[in-house]
Structure 1
Amino acid sequence: MTAPLLTTARFELWQPRVGDLAAHMALLADPEVTRYLASTPPDPEKHMERLIRHAEGWLQHGYGLFAVRPHGSDAMIASCGLFHSVRGFGKGFNNVTEAGWIVARDWWGKGVAREVMDASIAWFEARHGPRRMACMIEDGNRASERLATALGFVVYDRKAPDADDPVALNLYERQPSVLSRTR
């Protein structure tokens, strides 16, 4: 792919590609960026596996996370969008369209995730039709909670800490009827 799949006023949204490995690793190397994410080891092989999963999602489902770049720049400043999720813990998180956003710290507070997620949801709805979407947010991640609410997501359940994942997660959903009301 030699052009972005989607553009917004400030950003180009690209399907992830192998050449994004270093930028992806750099994005996730900042402990403040990953504070509310599952631990991400600084292992190129693990990061490549993650990029391959993203590419597989695009191939199998026709959508996935975007590598976000400012117009005219090669710098990847975020990974945002919608992806097909099978988390394995039930509670509405198996076989669902999941929303996710990770933004480089230098870009926090500048509306990146909101702009990109609005565009991603509109693009998704136009191509795949309205459907239920979900996202999960760790307790205390106020910025993501505010964004999810602004995007029309509401809390519907909670995943308690367990041996595999020692953090509490609030589970959010966005029903198809919300898609048309927030545009």
Structure 2
Amino acid sequence: MEDRILTTPRLTMAPHRVADFGDLCALWGDARVVRLLGGVPSNAEESWARLLRYAGNWALLGHGFWCVRRRDTGAYVGDIGYLEARRTGVDGFDGDPEIGWGLTVAAQGQGFASEAVAAALAWGNGRFARTVAMINPENAASQAVARRCGFRHFADGRYKDAPTGLWEYRFG
């Protein structure tokens, strides 16, 4: 279990606990956050299902999402991690885990996403050969994070009738 807790110079990343639900619920219920991440804020029930999906990925697959907090204040920064979503209608995953991230508005623009993604990729090295991210073509900030962390755009597609870009990172 210790290998599931990551630290960076500014962040602590640990699998979510029930106590993180309020922060997670606020994040995914914020229209400003989800505007380019599916577009529809989640209600408490949907956020609870997300929390359970995160836990289920860890329990069943040995990887999942981390709850990201600032080391200095303990403030919630957001969620980042790997998942097996079994998305329908999108080609390009080829059985590789998907990586994703979402940060609170207060944490955006400070380099936290790049720092957390880099830590997650370091954790994934030796565990995976490749990971794929779906990024909205209008989400310039997430595209910049992906580029900074060594991802490359390899395809465009559609998911739930919306355009998406597929980005990959190859380990090793």
TM-score norm. by structure 1 comes to 0.84
Task: State the 1:93 CA deviation.
Answer: 2.7
Identity of aligned residues (%): 30
Aligned residues: 171
User: For residue 66 of structure 1, what is the aligned residue in structure 2?
Assistant: 66
Task: State the 1:8 CA deviation.
Answer: 0.8
User: For residue 10 of structure 2, what is the aligned residue in structure 1?
Assistant: 10
Q: Give the distance between the partners of 1:113 and 1:74, measured in 2 at CA.
A: 16
CA gap of 1:42–1:120, structure 2 versus 1, over 3 A, is closer
User: For residue 44 of structure 2, what is the aligned residue in structure 1?
Assistant: 44
Greater Rg by CA? 1
User: For residue 111 of structure 2, what is the aligned residue in structure 1?
Assistant: 111
Q: Give the distance between the partners of 1:18 and 1:39, measured in 2 at CA.
A: 25
User: For residue 145 of structure 2, what is the aligned residue in structure 1?
Assistant: 147
1:131-166, CA deviations, whole angstroms, 9 ceiling, x for partnerless residues?
A: 1110011121101111111222111111136xxx23
Asked which structure has the greater RCO (Cα within 8 Å, sep 6+), the reply is: 2
Q: Give the distance between the partners of 2:85 and 2:158, measured in 1 at CA.
A: 19
The 5 Å alignment of 1:124-163 reads 124-126=124-126, 128=127, 130-160=128-158
- Conserved? CA contact 2:31–2:40, under 8 Å: no
1:52-98, CA deviations, whole angstroms, 9 ceiling, x for partnerless residues?
A: 01100001111111100111544322101222331122412353211
Q: Give the distance between the partners of 1:42 and 1:171, measured in 2 at CA.
A: 23
| 3-state SS, counterpart of residue 89 of structure 1 | coil
Q: Does residue 77 in structure 1 map to residue 77 in structure 2? A: yes
Q: Does residue 175 in structure 1 map to residue 170 in structure 2? A: yes
Aligned CA-pair RMSD = 2.1
Greater CA drift, 65-74 or 100-109: 65-74
TM-score norm. by structure 2 comes to 0.89
Output the amino acid matched with 1:96: D
Q: Give the distance between the partners of 1:90 and 1:35, measured in 2 at CA.
A: 20
Task: State the 1:7 CA deviation.
Answer: 0.9
Q: Give the distance between the partners of 1:41 and 1:145, measured in 2 at CA.
A: 21
Task: State the 1:21 CA deviation.
Answer: 1.2
User: For residue 32 of structure 1, what is the aligned residue in structure 2?
Assistant: 32
- Conserved? CA contact 1:87–1:94, under 8 Å: no
Output the amino acid matched with 2:16: P
- Give the gaps of 5 or more residues in structure 2: none
- Conserved? CA contact 1:86–1:96, under 8 Å: no
- Conserved? CA contact 2:90–2:158, under 8 Å: no
